[in-house]
Every structure is written in structure tokens, then in C-alpha cells.
């Protein structure tokens, strides 16, 4: 009997554990370790943040789902990795600390034959002084943060209804932040809600971003066919902002936040400040600060994890200039190179480098987006890792025939611009591949026939449909396995 | 209250990006056309998802 341990129950981890159990059945053990009692459909946090959905509409309890599937669930957080075991345990294990199930604070060693690290990012608010919930800005990165954002947004609306002018500042809250797409969705939805309430004349809405150009989205932008032209997403995104009456400040690295004021540095070295009444800024992401030890108890953290805390996999981590980056730098199987029964999927794997070009100010501040890992690639990498482990268990051989490089797979991003089955809108974007392959596609970096952008009501229906479809899949409802990642 | 038309500030960064025409806005909100686009977008996305990994 094989034992597969999955750390994390987000899109990648949950996809992996569900597939593992379905294919391996009762003969083998699947264990999920996750600190939250709930599964959470993160893309719909935007709608919680503008009061269009409630927390309970984006989450469900994991314990019942896993009990029904025969998956062992431990509500705990991973603390340290021991891929060689120790003096007492002769196989790899992780130490965990319970966060629930009436065992909060209790630690345990969980051994495994295969390990999938799908722990996602740490929201590193502390990397920017004064940033985050409980301090000076709101967030939409988790459902409780998004709910707080909605409560604060309502206060701003109330002030405008009383005739008071309000300044909204939304974007990235660290020079190296990612998830520009989520922040862009939020600013579009805030503008939509303000317009719906006929309060636009009292609102000053500004997009602040570390992107070199608006529309970069952490993937170096893209070229799309639009209106008889092949256009950069810079034009597409700026057009959306302009249409919604939003101004923008680009190439800006937020360095500090005080009550009602953001400090930033621009790529040209200029230091500036921007005032606000309401601000939602995305924090930097990092790994969770796990440690790793060999059998003798020696610290091997640096050999397993990159300096940013994400787990090393089958990527090319050789330091090289932007002009020498290749599609082949990106991992395909997400297998750890040192411990082959260990994998990292979703946001937990260490990318070889960013997708956007690294940029530094004259003061030495790196101001450019980290690479985004959105829902679709997270689900696909979770699936592929699970498939390879399933094959390995069933055949006894690590064929690793299932591959999913971000330089080969495409992704769809739906950027909501307002909620409403008749009056809503969204920009639907597809990019293929996610990471440019300039050798294969020398003119545009991507396949222009599968890289597109389109705005309209259909996009809103798509995002709404995907909300319910992916929750149906995640809950294990009938025919869930037929639905794609 | 009627929305005030904002004056374009010449040479500002906001003055350059394109704005949708009335026709573009019409087609973005036309339910029949958008229903067709929903089908087309679903097919495109499915092709991308299925073709992107082995």
C-alpha cells in the first residue's frame, strides 16, 4: 500500500488529492494536510470585496468532502520537511502542527511514500511597512480579507452619498508583487459599483502598479487580435481603465503605507506619495518559511527551497540575463531534483525567474512583477503531478510521462469588470503559452491564434459559470471528474 | 445626477488609449451576440486547456 501526502487543499492540492483517491481507490492512502477547514474558490473573492457574493458562496467544509471520498484530512500546517527520515523513521516525513480538529498546537510526524507540496503562497504583508488588513490597507487575497474590504468600501460609499469626495487607490503593494490581474479586476468592479450608484463625480480612482506598462499582468504583457489589429495588452488594459474613468501610476514600487498615504519609488528613481481614503493593495508573495533536514538532522533547507521559500523542482535555476531566458527553463513534471518522491504544484514551486523583464531603479530597487500562477496552471500542475504519482504507484516505475510546462500550456483569465447577468461585463483573455516562447513564436512570443482578448457580457457569464462549475468539481458532485482544470 | 463629461487633458497618458464606440458598446451588451460569444469562448478555452498538457 502506498501513502501519498498532499500539503494544501487549494486549487492545486485539492485537484491532486481528488484525482489520486479516484484513481488509487481504497488500496492506497491519500492524506491531505491543510490549515484551513474550508476549500476556497479564490477567483470569486473579488465579488465578496464589492458585496456581490458572501463568504459562504465561495467556500465549503473539507472534512465532509474528504470523509466521503475516503481521504484522510488533517487540519494542520506543515512546519518542516524530512525527506530522508530521521533516526526513528526510515522514510520521508513532514512535521505538522494542528490548527483545528480539537488538536490545535499539537505536532505530529506524517510519513509518506510520495509528497506533494501544494501549500500556495504566504501573503507577505510585512514586506511593506504598514500594508495590510489591521493596518492601513485592505486585501482581497482571502475571503475574510475580502469581506473586510467590502465593509470598508461601504463606508466610503456612504461618505460619497453624503457629498464627500473619496480617493480610491488600488493595485500592487510591493515592488515585487504579483497578482496584478486580481487587483485589476477589483479596481474595475469598484469603479462599476461607484458608477452604478451614480457617485462617479465624487470618486477619484487610481491604479498603482509595479508593471512597466499597464497590461503586463506579470507575464510581460501579450499581443492579441483586436479590432483589425494585433495589439499589445498595454493598449487593451489602458483602454479599460480610461473607459472606467481610472487614472494610473505605473512602474511604481510601494515601499511604505501610512494612514491615508502610500509612499512609492518609481523606476526612474523618483520618490513620491499618493493619498487615499480607501486602498486595496496586493502584498508580496513568498514561500511559508519551511525548513528541511536530512537524516542526521542537518539543515538542508537551501538545497530544497529557493531563497524566496518556494520549493525547487525540475526548472533551470541558472542565473542568466533576460535575453538568454528560454522556454526550456520552466519545469514540466514539478519533481524535486534531489528527492524524487517529492513534488511541488501550483504556486508552491519555485519558478526559474520571472516572466516580466527584471527592472531596477537607479537606487537599486527591483521594481517588476513576480510571475503569476493563476487558477488554471495551478489545477493543471496539480493534476499532472497526481497522474505521474498514480502511474508510478501502479507500474512501480517513475515514467513521468505527464508534463505541463507553463511555456507550453495556455491559460484563460477572466477579468471581471462588473457583476450582473444583464449589465455586467468582463474581459476574457487567453494566452498560449503562458510563458513566452520566442524561439517557437518569434514574432509575438505566443501563438496569436490562441492568444486573444475580448470584452463583453459573455465574459461575466463565463466567470459566473466557472464559479459554480469549479465548486461543483471541488465538492465531488456527480461527474466532477469530467470537468477540466 | 447626470454624469459630468470629463475634459480630456491633451498629452496626458490618459488621452491616448482607445475608447469603445457606441457600436462596440452595443455589441458588448447584446444578449444574443454575447450568447454566441459565450459558446465560442468556451470552445477556445477548452482547446487551450486540453492541448496544454500531456
What are the pLDDT digits (tens) for A233-267? 999 999 999 999 999 999 999 999 999 999 999 99
Q: Which helix (H) or strand (E) holds B26?
A: helix B22-29
Cell numbers at A471, concatenated: 465548486
Quick one: CA dihedral A350, A353, A358, A360, positive or negative?
Answer: positive
Residue with cell 496586493: A282
pLDDT at B8: 83
With H, G, I as helix, E, B as strand and everything else as coil, classify residue A365: coil
Q: pTM above 0.80?
A: yes
Q: Is B32 on the interface with A (CB under 8 A)?
A: no
Nearest CB neighbour to B1, from listed A201, A241, A412: A201
Contacts with B51 (C-beta within 8 Å, 6 or more apart), sequence order: A410
The residues with which A4 forms a beta bridge, in sequence order, are A30, A114
pLDDT at A373: 80
Crossing angle, helix A457-474 and helix B31-51, to 10 degrees? 50
Measure the CA angle with vertex A376, ends A374 and A378; round to 5°: 65
Collect all residues of chain B within an 8 Å Cβ-Cβ radius of residue A198. Answer: 1, 3
**Interchain CB distance below 8 Å, A411 and B44:** no
Collect all residues of chain A within an 8 Å Cβ-Cβ radius of residue B30. Answer: 457
From the CB of residue A82, how many other CB atoms can be counted at a distance below 10 Å?
21
pLDDT at B49: 78
- From CA A200, how far away is CA A196, in angstroms rounded? 9
Residue to test with chain B: of A403, A457, A466, A485, most B Cβ within 10 A = A457
- From CA A151, how far away is CA A402, in angstroms rounded? 45
ipTM for the complex?
0.90
Measure the CA angle with vertex A467, ends B50 and A429; round to 5°: 55
Q: Which helix (H) or strand (E) holds A279?
A: strand A278-282
Collect all residues of chain A within an 8 Å Cβ-Cβ radius of residue B51. Answer: 410
**Interchain CB distance below 8 Å, B13 and A248:** yes
- From CA A292, how far away is CA A84, in angstroms rounded? 10
Using a pLDDT cut of 70, give the percent of chain A over it: 100
Mean pLDDT, chain A, rounded, equals: 96
Residue with cell 515514467: A399
Q: Is A403 on the interface with B (CB under 8 A)?
A: yes
Q: Is A138 on the interface with B (CB under 8 A)?
A: no
Using a pLDDT cut of 90, give the percent of chain A over it: 97
**Interchain CB distance below 8 Å, A433 and B20:** no
User: Cα distance from A94 to chain B (closest Cα, Å)?
Assistant: 30
The residues with which A254 forms a beta bridge, in sequence order, are A264
pLDDT at B50: 76
Pairing of strands A223-226, A291-292: unpaired
* Chain A: residue whose CA lies nearest to B4: A201
pLDDT at A25: 93
Collect all residues of chain B within an 8 Å Cβ-Cβ radius of residue A428. Answer: 41
- For the segment A438-457, the average pLDDT, to the nearest whole number, is 94
* Chain B: residue whose CA lies nearest to A383: B53
Cell numbers at A413, concatenated: 483569465
- From CA A454, how far away is CA B24, in angstroms rounded? 11
| Residue closest to A253 by CA, chosen among A140, A415, A370, A142 | A370
- Residue A37 pLDDT class (50, 70, 90 cuts): very high
Sheet hosting strand A278-282, strand order edge to edge: A246-249, A203-208, A166-172, A278-282
The verdict on whether omega for the bond into residue A433 sits within 30 degrees of 0, i.e. cis, is yes
| Residue closest to A232 by CA, chosen among A429, A23, A31, A6 | A429
Q: Is B21 on the interface with A (CB under 8 A)?
A: no
Nearest CB neighbour to A428, from listed B4, B16, B41: B41
- Residue B4 pLDDT class (50, 70, 90 cuts): low
Residue to test with chain B: of A410, A427, A463, most B Cβ within 10 A = A410
Q: Is B44 on the interface with A (CB under 8 A)?
A: yes
Q: Is A198 on the interface with B (CB under 8 A)?
A: yes
Q: Is A103 on the interface with B (CB under 8 A)?
A: no
DSSP designation for A8: -
Pairing of strands A3-7, A29-34: parallel
- From CA A154, how far away is CA A150, in angstroms rounded? 6
Collect all residues of chain B within an 8 Å Cβ-Cβ radius of residue A238. Answer: 13, 16-17
Start-to-end CA span in chain B (Å) = 56
pLDDT at B3: 54
**Interchain CB distance below 8 Å, A457 and B46:** no
pLDDT at B2 over 70: no
Q: What are phi and psi of A71, to 5 degrees?
A: -95, 135
* Chain A: residue whose CA lies nearest to B2: A198
pLDDT at B53: 66
pLDDT at A456 over 90: yes
Q: Is B26 on the interface with A (CB under 8 A)?
A: no
Q: Is B46 on the interface with A (CB under 8 A)?
A: yes
DSSP E strands: which ranges in A227-270? 229-232, 246-249, 252-258, 261-266
The residues with which A327 forms a beta bridge, in sequence order, are none
Residue to test with chain B: of A381, A387, A417, A456, most B Cβ within 10 A = A456
pLDDT at A181 over 60: yes
What are A284-330's pLDDT values in tens digits? 999 999 999 999 999 999 999 999 999 999 999 999 999 999 999 99
Amino acid at each position: 500500500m502506498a501513502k501519498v501526502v498532499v500539503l494544501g487543499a487549494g486549487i492545486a492540492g485539492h485537484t491532486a488529492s481528488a484525482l489520486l483517491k479516484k484513481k488509487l481507490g481504497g488500496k492506497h492512502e491519500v492524506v491531505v494536510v491543510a490549515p484551513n477547514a474550508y476549500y476556497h474558490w479564490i477567483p470569486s473573492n473579488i465579488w465578496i470585496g464589492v458585496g456581490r457574493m458572501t463568504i459562504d458562496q465561495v467556500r465549503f467544509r473539507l472534512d465532509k468532502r474528504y470523509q466521503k471520498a475516503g481521504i484522510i484530512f488533517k487540519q494542520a500546517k506543515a512546519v518542516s520537511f524530512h525527506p530522508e527520515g530521521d533516526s526513528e523513521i526510515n522514510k520521508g516525513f513532514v512535521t505538522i502542527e494542528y490548527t483545528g480538529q480539537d488538536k490545535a498546537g499539537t505536532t505530529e510526524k506524517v510519513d509518506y511514500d510520495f509528497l506533494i507540496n501544494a501549500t500556495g503562497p504566504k501573503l507577505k504583508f510585512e514586506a511593506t511597512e504598514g500594508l495590510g488588513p489591521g493596518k492601513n490597507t485592505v486585501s482581497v487575497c482571502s475571503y475574510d480579507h475580502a469581506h473586510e474590504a467590502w465593509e470598508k468600501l461601504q463606508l466610503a460609499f456612504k461618505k460619497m452619498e453624503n457629498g464627500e469626495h473619496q480617493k480610491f487607490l488600488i493595485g500592487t503593494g510591493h515592488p515585487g508583487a504579483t497578482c496584478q490581474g486580481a487587483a485589476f479586476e477589483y479596481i474595475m468592479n469598484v469603479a462599476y459599483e461607484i458608477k452604478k450608484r451614480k457617485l462617479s463625480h465624487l470618486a477619484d480612482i487610481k491604479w498603482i502598479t509595479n508593471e512597466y506598462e499597464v497590461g503586463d499582468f506579470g507575464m510581460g504583457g501579450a499581443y492579441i487580435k483586436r479590432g483589425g489589429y494585433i495589439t499589445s495588452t498595454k493598449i487593451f488594459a489602458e483602454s479599460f481603465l480610461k473607459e472606467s474613468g481610472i487614472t494610473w501610476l505605473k512602474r511604481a514600487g510601494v515601499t511604505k503605507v501610512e494612514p491615508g498615504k502610500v509612499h512609492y519609488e518609481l523606476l526612474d528613481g523618483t520618490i513620491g506619495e499618493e493619498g487615499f481614503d480607501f486602498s486595496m493593495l496586493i502584498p508580496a508573495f513568498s514561500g511559508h518559511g519551511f525548513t528541511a533536514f536530512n537524516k542526521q538532522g542537518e539543515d538542508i533547507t537551501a538545497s530544497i527551497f529557493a531563497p524566496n521559500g518556494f520549493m525547487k523542482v525540475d526548472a533551470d535555476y541558472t542565473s542568466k540575463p533576460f535575453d538568454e531566458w528560454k522556454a526550456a527553463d520552466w519545469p514540466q513534471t514539478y519533481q524535486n531534483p534531489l528527492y524524487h518522491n517529492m513534488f511541488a504544484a501550483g504556486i508552491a514551486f519555485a519558478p526559474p525567474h520571472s516572466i516580466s523583464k527584471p527592472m531596477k531603479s537607479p537606487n537599486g530597487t527591483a521594481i517588476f512583477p513576480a510571475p503569476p500562477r493563476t487558477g488554471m496552471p495551478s489545477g493543471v500542475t496539480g493534476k499532472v503531478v497526481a497522474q505521474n504519482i498514480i502511474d508510478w504507484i501502479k507500474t512501480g516505475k517513475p515514467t513521468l510521462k505527464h508534463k505541463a510546462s507553463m511555456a507550453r500550456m495556455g491559460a484563460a483569465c477572466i477579468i471581471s469588470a462588473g457583476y450582473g447577468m444583464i449589465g455586467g461585463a468582463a474581459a476574457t483573455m487567453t494566452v498560449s503559452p503562458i510563458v513566452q516562447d520566442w524561439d517557437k513564436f518569434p514574432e509575438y512570443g505566443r501563438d496569436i491564434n490562441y492568444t486573444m482578448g475580448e470584452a463583453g457580457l459573455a465574459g461575466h457569464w463565463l466567470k459566473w459559470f466557472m464559479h459554480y462549475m469549479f465548486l461543483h468539481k471541488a465538492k465531488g458532485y456527480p461527474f466532477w471528474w469530467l470537468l477540466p482544470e | 445626477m447626470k454624469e459630468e463629461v470629463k475634459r480630456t487633458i491633451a498629452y496626458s497618458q490618459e488621452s491616448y488609449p482607445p475608447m469603445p464606440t457606441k457600436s462596440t458598446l452595443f455589441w458588448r451588451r447584446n444578449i444574443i451576440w454575447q450568447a454566441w460569444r459565450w459558446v465560442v469562448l468556451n470552445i477556445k478555452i477548452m482547446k487551450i486547456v486540453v492541448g496544454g498538457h500531456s
